[in-house]
Amino acid sequence: MSLTEKYNEEVKAILAKYPNKRSAVMPLLYLAQREGGFVTKESMAEIGAMLGMETTEVAAIVGFYSLYHDEQAGKYRMQVCADLPCALRGADKFLETLCSNLGVKVGETTSDGMITVESVMCLAGCDRAPMFQVQDGDVVTYHENMTIDKTMELVEALRAAGKEVK
């Protein structure tokens, strides 16, 4: 089912807010991602057609922003900042150890389907690294000055909360 078929009134309301249709790209991407946690290629093409944009332009926006996704992942996306300032504060080693403890590589999802670990650039807290954000649907929480022990405690809490929701 297309975005306009599924969310016709919301699409109309979003488009009505923007005199320049192209400015509606981010709210439409958010709408497309809301249910499944990622934006499908079909939705990117539909949004592009609605706004007079090439599908590749829409895909570039999805690829640039860490809050948009083009593929399915675990219930929680744990996005570790690994840019240079954070790396100087141990983010690379932190990410490596975290992945090892979870039994995944960067970009993979744990076998229980709960946690996907991703490396992102700049979460605006370089002086508080290692740090990461956890995305759970519309909710994003930031975790700064983290250790592996504190992070694994958080992972267990997320797993417990995620199982309660199912």
In the chain, domain spans: 3-64, 76-165
> What would the pLDDT profile of 34-44 be if each residue is shown by its tens digit?
878 899 999 99
Q: What class has domain 76-165?
A: alpha beta
- Homologous superfamily assigned to 3-64: NADH-quinone oxidoreductase subunit E (1.10.10.1590)
Residues of the chain scoring pLDDT < 50: 166
pTM beyond 0.85: the answer is no
Question: Which position has the token pair 């797993």?
Answer: 159
Closest to 87 measured CA to CA, from 60, 38, 123: 123
Alpha carbons 6 and 50: distance in angstroms, whole number: 15
pLDDT at 137 (0 to 100): 82
pLDDT at 89 (0 to 100): 94
pLDDT at 166 (0 to 100): 46
pLDDT at 162 (0 to 100): 79
pLDDT at 164 (0 to 100): 61
